[in-house]
Amino acid sequence: MTNKVDYNNIPKELFEPVERGERITDKKFEDKPIGYFKDAWLRFRRNKGSIVAAIIILLIVLYSIVIPLANTRYDETFMDVYYAKKPPRNFALMNVGIANGQTARTFEEKGLIKFIGIGIGAADTEGTGGISVSEGLGNYYQPIRSIKDSWEISEIKGAKPKVMYNASIDNYLEVGFLYTSLKQDEYQKIVDWQNETGLQVLYPLVEDNQWNVDINDANYWYKSNKGTPITTDEWGDLDKTLKYSEDMVLEDNYKRDADGNPIYYEYTGGGNAQTAQYRVRILYYNYYRYLNGFEPEYLLGTDSQGYDMSLRLAGGIRLSLILSLSVCAINFVIGAIYGAVEGYYGGAVDLTLERISDILSGVPFVVVATLFQMHLAQKVGPIPSLLFAFVLTGWIGMASRVRTQFYRFKGQEYVIAARTLGAKDRRIIWKHIFPNSLGTIITGSVLAIPGVIGSESMLSYLGIVKLGSATTTSLGTLLSDAASIWTSYPHLLLFPALILSLLMICFNLFGNGLRDAFNPSLRGVEE
């Protein structure tokens, strides 16, 4: 049984006299008042998903700012067409087996020999020959890094089977040799640089004869017959099919003078030492080092045009964030004013403004963006015209949210009291009603950011907006460039798709967290 309290016989000693106006509090129930934004922050930080999303967004923003500042070798306009579509390559990360610039590839026998021939030709700086395949495989400039296994296939019944090889190839070294034209003074500078560094750039020219299967491909420096390499031992038997072996020695097909010395340049025109043009054959890897002072190294590889992918991603992120924040800020201002006037005054004002909103909302955004890009972009540029397209109808959703909030709060007692005390409409709108709607409006603005990013990426992916210049790009443009070749170069699609996905998901999670944090009905509620 529970003891019942006899309230009629409570001892007087339990009571203490107090003065009039003195505040009586019980420390057990005493609490400090919490401000609106502090209360919102307390609720927001309990949402772990939103916190993680905010951290990821912050890291992406820092990446877009720090990478261009930290990359001292390249700027956003640096492009090398010969190193386009190359995978990530970083000398520090090579030691742990990643970002080594290599890919796995399958070769026919003659294709394997051609790429091995790049390393052999690079090792033969004097054009004297006699370098075997095994020696060439150990050369620094050898693109074939390893040969894993081989097997035979028969394409036609009864025909001689083909031998196929699985190998790992360095995509930066596979460029090999190139033909180019140099002025005489530039040729001499390269010769001096070679003597100073010990790195060979200039290599002997190749004869244009029946043993050269492609006069435009400088990597065919050896004698071959219909694409089949020929060795010294088999020179008399041109129909014999060559078998790959490590002791094979390719016979060179270099141009030579009357004394048998290899020729390194040909005069092609010009009147003096400064303007004379020489046709030369260069090892492009070392020529790149001569031009830039370092070996090619790209943390995230290169894009389809030869730009540094890490810098292109940083530029695409900045464009998406700046555009989306600008659009949301402008739409916030226009929508807040428009919706406040609608919701506060109502009646004929609301009816008229709503009909205007209905007309504008019926205009398809893609049509507006396309028309602006066709006509306005020629005058102001693609980005400002895209901004105008977003703003033309983008504020309607914000105005609708503000209008709803004003209808909700304008009949509250504190608004009626303010009007009774003589407050003007402008003060009631911005001092009494609008602050109570701020949480919903901020949340709506944040949730609109991923929509803008997605729309911009979609337009640039479809080619409606052209953002593929040397100084400007977008994530959608990078995805569009990779659309038809991503199976061969997966990094072109992987990195921009990953960044775009993270931005879309994280901004949605972040916006949902703000929505719950600023929800007045949850004020003071413990989860």
83 within some domain: no
Identity of the residue numbered 441: I
Do 260 and 407 fall within a single domain? Answer: no
CA-closest candidate to residue 87, choices 311, 300, 306: 300
Query: DSSP states of 65-103 as a string?
Result: HHHHHH--S--TT-B-GGGTTPPPB-HHHHTTTSSBSEE
**Residue range 5-18: mean pLDDT, rounded:** 67
Q: Which two tokens stand for residue 362?
A: 């019926």
Residue ending a domain, among 269, 292, 315, is: 292
For the ranges 64-73, 123-132, 221-230, 370-379, the lowest mean pLDDT is seen at 221-230
Band of the pLDDT at 290, cuts 50, 70, 90?
very high
325 within some domain: yes
Do 265 and 315 fall within a single domain? Answer: no
Do 176 and 323 fall within a single domain? Answer: no
pLDDT computed for residue 415 by the predictor: 84
Element (H, E) at 179: strand 177-183
Do 312 and 281 fall within a single domain? Answer: no
Do 338 and 214 fall within a single domain? Answer: no
Residue ending a domain, among 227, 257, 292, is: 292
Please answer whether residues 40 and 518 qualify as being in contact, where contact means their C-beta atoms are separated by less than 8 angstroms. yes
Do 391 and 455 fall within a single domain? Answer: yes
Phi, psi of 280, deg, nearest 5: -135, 165
Please answer whether residues 327 and 444 qualify as being in contact, where contact means their C-beta atoms are separated by less than 8 angstroms. no
**Residue range 452-479: mean pLDDT, rounded:** 89
67 within some domain: no
Please answer whether residues 147 and 245 qualify as being in contact, where contact means their C-beta atoms are separated by less than 8 angstroms. no
Express as a percent the part of the chain with pLDDT over 70: 87
Over residues 382-424, the pLDDT tens digits come to: 889 999 999 988 899 889 988 988 888 888 888 888 888 888 8
Do 332 and 359 fall within a single domain? Answer: yes
Q: Which two tokens stand for residue 505?
A: 């998901």
Q: How many CB atoms lie within 10 A of CB 264?
A: 17
Do 287 and 311 fall within a single domain? Answer: no
pLDDT computed for residue 15 by the predictor: 67
Number of domains in the chain: 2
Query: DSSP states of 113-149 as a string?
Result: HHHHHHHHHHH-TTS----BHHHHHTSTT-SEEEEEE
Over residues 59-78, the pLDDT tens digits come to: 999 999 999 998 888 888 89
Q: Which two tokens stand for residue 438?
A: 């701020």
Do 350 and 270 fall within a single domain? Answer: no
Over residues 183-233, the pLDDT tens digits come to: 998 999 999 999 999 999 999 999 988 888 888 999 999 888 765 666 655
Angle between helices 434-462 and 475-482 (to 10 degrees): 30
| Residue appearing with tokens 């400039």 | 141
Please answer whether residues 193 and 185 qualify as being in contact, where contact means their C-beta atoms are separated by less than 8 angstroms. no
Q: Which residues, other chains included, contact 135 with Cβ-Cβ below 8 Å and sequence gap of 6+?
A: 120, 123
Do 474 and 374 fall within a single domain? Answer: yes
26 within some domain: no
For the ranges 220-229, 304-313, 314-323, 419-428, the lowest mean pLDDT is seen at 220-229
10 within some domain: no
Please answer whether residues 183 and 274 qualify as being in contact, where contact means their C-beta atoms are separated by less than 8 angstroms. yes
Q: Residue 240 pLDDT > 90, yes or no? A: no
Do 221 and 331 fall within a single domain? Answer: no
CATH number at residue 436: 1.10.3720.10
Phi, psi of 356, deg, nearest 5: -65, -45
CA distance 119 to 141: 5
499 within some domain: yes
38 within some domain: no
Q: Residue 165 pLDDT > 60, yes or no? A: yes
Band of the pLDDT at 141, cuts 50, 70, 90?
very high
Residue ending a domain, among 292, 325, 345, is: 292
Compute CA distances 219 → 104, 232, 353, 436, whole Å.
Answer: 21, 19, 71, 73
The residue range of the domain holding 282 is 89-292
CA distance 172 to 187: 24
Query: DSSP states of 244-310 as a string?
Result: P-TT-BBPB-B-B-TTSPBP-EEEEE-SSTTT-EEEEEEEHHHHHHHHHSS---BTT-B-TTSBBHH
Q: Residue 30 pLDDT > 70, yes or no? A: no
50 within some domain: no
Do 282 and 315 fall within a single domain? Answer: no
